[in-house]
Structure 1
Amino acid sequence: MSARRPTIADVARAAQVSPSTASVVFSGNAAVAPTTKARVLEAAAALGYRGPDPRAASLRRGRSGIVGVVFEEHLGAAFLDPVNTHMMDGLAEGVAPLGAGLLLLRDDPPPTGDAPTETTGALSLRSAPVDAVVLVGCSRRLTESLEILRARGIPVIVMEGDAGPGIPRIELDNREAQRQAASHLRTLGHSRAAIVTLPFDGRRERGILEPGDPRVPAIEVTKERLAGARDVFPDAPVHIAAASRIDEGLQAGRMILADSDARPTAVIAQSDLLAAGVIRSAEERGIRIPEDLSVTGFDGISLDGFAPYELTTLVQPSTAKGRAAGEAVVRMLEGGAGVSLRFTCEFRAGNTTGPPPSLT
């Protein structure tokens, strides 16, 4: 019996890096530190792993040995968010039984009125040698990609989005979880809260949602988390961030806290990075956390240099979510049915929330 063919997970263990980092080295679609890249390639050479070879794999089993992962945002920006890194780690583990590599793609439609070019994401989805595709989110723009993939007969899994009937979904209980954080603030006695959201759509423009503004987020995660916060604070002002980043939270926080007469006593941020930025903006103004202002986040990531704060947040199983998507890919490529799964977040109370100033 021949020895088991090494997988990308084996290479990652040997190189002491995450599976997603090892996969990125072979995809070539995102920057990796030269020392890390060298360590991964050395480990791969020692194990006899040369990466996914579409031609050899197709001769062997009629597959390319590649699973595409489609992001809407720029790949460099996507991997600034630890949630995406953990998700990719799980995804790489999930597809490891296939011996498959991950091909990172960004979905860029061709300019209006122009024919697709070799640099557009639409053409990549038409021609990329992939066995299956994982869509990270599914806004209106990614729906166009879905039609391309359906026409090619390629299995599709959607993470945190709704691609319609028949497309398996891996998602979180976003609305229920965000409602839990908002209810925590209400129980503490807060009546004036502000909300800092993730991007509303693929344009990723920051702004303020004025009362009566009919706009609804096109991105499923943003929409569900906003609904959960509004279940408890229906009239809370909404500040839209352009990305899940600390600097975006800092800008939103500066706007929210600028008017001392209209300042809220609590801020509900849709990510931990946004929450950290809001807290930094409070520190700039000498506003104490949580004595003067309570802040909640969402994700449960580790924030370096954030002491003495322990963020009150919702902890999501990012790695398990990615692994479930990878396992669904394996099932579908082996002839089984894709299964939708819904993960539950865990509320974690930290030291960034407390009673409002009027009750202390």
Structure 2
Amino acid sequence: MPGPGPTIADIARAAEVSTATVSHALAGTGRLGDSTRRRVREVAAALGYSAARRGPRTRTLGLAVTTYAGSAWNFVEIAYFSRLLTAATAAAHAHGYALTVLPAERGAEPLWHTLAVDGMLLLDSPAGDPVLAALRARGLPLVFDGRPPDPRPADVWVDNDHEAATREVLDHLAAAGARRIALHAAYGREHYTAAVGAAYGRWCAERGMAPLVVPFDPQDGAGHAFDPLFAAAGQRPDAVHCAYDPGGRQVLAAAARHGLRVPEELLLVCASEDPGYGWGEPAVTTLSLGPELVGERAVAALVALVERPDDAPAPPAPVPTTLTPRASTHRRR
């Protein structure tokens, strides 16, 4: 019986390239130079590598939310992710692909290495992302929701202009009379958190304001992180911008506990896709990041990488955000 034949690693050693480069060259994916792709294929042919060893396309795309990869959390209950997943699924079907969504908990680790897909969407990939490392090693086409950590020249991502969006929120609060604005953020290690925090810091510096960042804790439903600030009458903020979906409700709970009226004494904006913020008393001003458009553009970019690997993809334009002013930022006289 003949032997198993050369492996991807054998070809990589002979061609003096990485295994990821070999995978891209043989699968027709990635953005490799013509000479590199041709040389890898020539080495593979000389070693007796058979293209039949590679499986056919699966017509399936994968999606993973990797912000807290390995943690058991239900990202589908977050309005941003649920709306993006719905839009991405519809977009994949429109392109003739299925969409497989990976679970977040630790038991999903084998799927990172073995899931049979043509490409992957990674949402909120943080620094040191183990899912990203596994997928890069496989040489799969990748598209990111949010700028990836340590991006490579060929990486493609879909994102908002977080600098402009954060400034729009802060300018809106300042126009409503806020003079001491707190940011409820600094939690995750993905690009979104860093970008919003940096934009807030620059905005404050330009106005000679001391930044005030309140750490977000998803388990802090009562908003106890605000107790020290709200109890200090002379130093408490008169407005809060929440970068995470549950943050608005945490601030409302803390304000009620300390007898602060919203919006008379405290203005509030929350980045959220949850329509429930528009139904409460008071209705809360929200910033939408456009998850439906993010999902549609990310799928379109991934399909292009899978089907036209030799075409350099155009970077998708920033997805517009939408600020919806409501009662929480309308200070009644």
Correspondence 1:91-130 to 2 at 5 A: 91-96=88-93, 97-106=95-104, 119=107, 121=109, 123-130=110-117
Distance in 2 of aligned mates of 1:81 and 1:106? 13
2:25 counterpart residue number: none
SS of the residue corresponding to residue 70 of structure 1 reads strand
2:322 counterpart residue number: 346
1:145 counterpart residue number: 131
- Change in 2 beyond 3 A, CA 1:75/1:92: farther
Equivalent of 1:68 in 57, 62, 66: 62
Unaligned runs of 5+ in 1: 1-57, 109-118, 202-218
2:28 counterpart residue number: none
Q: TM-score, normalised by structure 1?
A: 0.67
Equivalent of 1:241 in 191, 216, 222: 216
Please say if 1:158 is aligned against 2:144.
Answer: yes
2:203 counterpart residue number: 232
Distance in 2 of aligned mates of 1:120 and 1:87? 21
Q: TM-score, normalised by structure 2?
A: 0.72
Distance in 1 of aligned mates of 2:185 and 2:290? 20
- Change in 2 beyond 3 A, CA 1:306/1:260: farther
- Change in 2 beyond 3 A, CA 1:125/1:299: same
1:175 counterpart residue number: 163
1:112 counterpart residue number: none
Unaligned runs of 5+ in 2: 1-51
1:204 counterpart residue number: none
2:118 counterpart residue number: 131
- Change in 2 beyond 3 A, CA 1:253/1:229: same
Equivalent of 2:182 in 182, 186, 194: 194
- Deviation by residue 1:30-63 (Cα, 9 ceiling, x = unmatched): xxxxxxxxxxxxxxxxxxxxxxxxxxxx99x812
Distance in 2 of aligned mates of 1:175 and 1:331? 28
Equivalent of 1:315 in 274, 285, 288: 288
Equivalent of 2:303 in 320, 330, 348: 330
Correspondence 1:204-243 to 2 at 5 A: 219-234=190-205, 235-243=210-218
Per the TM alignment, residue 304 of structure 1 is displaced from its structure 2 partner at its CA by 6.3
Residue correspondences, number: 268
Distance in 1 of aligned mates of 2:221 and 2:167? 23
- Deviation by residue 1:277-327 (Cα, 9 ceiling, x = unmatched): 201221222211100111111134311694222222222211111111112
- Superposed CA RMSD in Å reads 2.7
1:12 counterpart residue number: none
Distance in 2 of aligned mates of 1:271 and 1:136? 15
Per the TM alignment, residue 221 of structure 1 is displaced from its structure 2 partner at its CA by 0.4
Correspondence 1:27-66 to 2 at 5 A: 62-66=56-60
Distance in 1 of aligned mates of 2:277 and 2:105? 31
Contact 2:73 2:104 in 1 (8 A): no
1:82 counterpart residue number: 79
Contact 2:169 2:269 in 1 (8 A): yes
Larger Rg: 2
Distance in 2 of aligned mates of 1:179 and 1:133? 32
Correspondence 1:252-271 to 2 at 5 A: 252-271=225-244
Contact 1:134 1:158 in 2 (8 A): yes
Contact 1:69 1:135 in 2 (8 A): yes
Per the TM alignment, residue 255 of structure 1 is displaced from its structure 2 partner at its CA by 4.2
- Change in 2 beyond 3 A, CA 1:248/1:224: farther
SS of the residue corresponding to residue 310 of structure 1 reads coil
Correspondence 1:5-44 to 2 at 5 A: none
Distance in 1 of aligned mates of 2:232 and 2:152? 43
Contact 1:178 1:228 in 2 (8 A): yes
Distance in 2 of aligned mates of 1:297 and 1:305? 11
Contact 1:196 1:274 in 2 (8 A): yes
Distance in 1 of aligned mates of 2:188 and 2:60? 31
Contact 1:174 1:228 in 2 (8 A): yes
- Change in 2 beyond 3 A, CA 1:168/1:275: same
